[in-house]
Amino acid sequence: MKSIYKLFVLILAAVSLTGCDVEEYPNLNSPDLDNLLEDPTLGDIQDLVGGMQAGMRNNIGGYLDNCGVIGREYYRFATSDPRFTSDLLGKGTAVLDNNTFYITNPWAARYRVVKNALIVLEAVDITKSDITEEEKNGIRGFANTIRAYELLLNLNLTYQNGIRIETSDPDNLGPVVGYEESLNTIQEILASAATELDAAGDDFAFVPSTGFEGLIPEGGDHLSPADFIKFNKAIAARVAAYRGDMPAVSALLGDSFLDVNGDLQAGAYYVFSADGNDVFNPMFFAQNSPASNARIAHPTFLEDAEAGDERLSKVTEREESLTLDNLTGDYDFFVYTSNVSSIPIIRNEELVLLYAEANYEANPAEAINAINVVRNAAGLPDYSGGMGAAELLDEILMQRRYSLYGEGHRWIDMRRYNRLGELPTDRAEDDVWEQFPIPLNENVE
């Protein structure tokens, strides 16, 4: 994400500052959004898409901390804000508040991107510029894929409390709908976007983020709509897994960038840089950081690991233990080793494990083959446990725990298999939460 996005990040950030309730804010340094949408040029649309992509990174650290702390992957220490170790961990009588940064900030950030995507779609529909229908389809398919993905992240937080799907009219917002209906609609948006991408020709009319370059096949020199469809299908496979539809997972993976024997790191990422107009990775803290700002690996991450698992390199031993609020750890969370490290959106290792999950009941041999790919990559021998469905599922969840550590999956995985009760609690009255409340400013009765 480069400095060309700066102007439109400022414009688009103004359209939705809290939840889905959109207010108009004048921009003193550039034309307001109404004027821009009177006659959007291709250049305007390209910049709008750039701003949408840049906005995807906003408060992604808050989302990952919510999932990582509640999922007991790590502790988030901050002496200036005890809610990381009280509210998120359910200390004593603490509960999750509906008007606190840990839900209002990531929720609003995701809906800003959703709103930005809707603005892009409106601009494409009304532009008088000389843009081919194929180019319009590419823009629509890209924007709708991102819109669906952002809605999914908010749904991951609020779960059965639901989300708003329809937000195009700020004066007439759609209702908050439940989990299953939301998942189904997100899947439909992705399917519609795939159809648009399939009719998008050979090239996009804008420059996708460098975070999507991992989707470019060997020998290619730029991301095409056909390449991006594979990302769309990968996200759809994740959604199908959340829905418990394993035949759909298999079908969607077949059209994704899954490569069981390929690079497990290949995929799509949030990218960061030290450029003056860009942002740093919010998940990076230096090793041996003080309690004022630290992420400390949950002790069970090491205690439960299999001997020889090279994925333990994702945590590093501290020079001395760190204690805060009766929580102690000896290892730093160090998945992201610099302030410009990329954060995965979705990568091949997750797809390989989704492939195992889709097959563990119907085709155990295929599931074990995929499991062994992941185990061997981590320096572990082939799986030698039981062949029953229960044992294989345990193994898949174990591999997901270590392969996807710190990427926002553990809490969701345990929830979708009704295993939240298996997550450890560290203090006598701690709780493991199932979901966040809808933010107060959504005015949901």
C-alpha to C-alpha distance for 242 and 246, rounded to whole angstroms:
9
Give the residue-averaged pLDDT of 65-93: 98
Architecture of domain 3-207: Alpha Horseshoe (1.25)
Tokens of 327: 């929580």
- How far apart, in Å, are the Cα atoms of 244 and each of 145, 153, 322, 357, 404? 21, 18, 40, 10, 20
C-alpha to C-alpha distance for 187 and 152, rounded to whole angstroms:
10
225 or 34, greater pLDDT: 225
C-alpha to C-alpha distance for 33 and 216, rounded to whole angstroms:
33
pLDDT value, residue 170: 85
C-alpha to C-alpha distance for 371 and 382, rounded to whole angstroms:
8
Is residue 322 pLDDT above 60, yes or no?
yes
Beta strands of 334-371 (E only): which ranges? 343-347
The residues pairing with 77 across neighbouring beta strands, listed in sequence order, are: 294
pLDDT band at 11 (very low <50, low <70, confident <90, very high): very low
- Side-chain half-sphere exposure of 224, counting CA atoms within 13 A: 13
440 or 28, greater pLDDT: 440
Please check whether residue 190 is in contact with residue 236, taking contact to mean a CB–CB distance below 8 angstroms.
yes
User: Which residue intervals of 131-272 are DSSP H helices?
Assistant: 133-158, 179-198, 225-243, 246-254
Question: Residue ranges of the domains in the chain?
Answer: 3-207, 294-333
Q: Does the reported pTM lie above 0.95?
A: no
Give the residue-averaged pLDDT of 15-43: 55
- Dump pLDDT digits (tens) for 412-427: 999 999 999 999 999 9
- Dump pLDDT digits (tens) for 204-222: 999 999 999 999 998 888 9
pLDDT band at 445 (very low <50, low <70, confident <90, very high): low
Give the residue-averaged pLDDT of 12-41: 50
C-alpha to C-alpha distance for 261 and 257, rounded to whole angstroms:
12
Q: Could you give the 3-state DSSP secondary structure of residue 178?
A: coil
13 or 231, greater pLDDT: 231
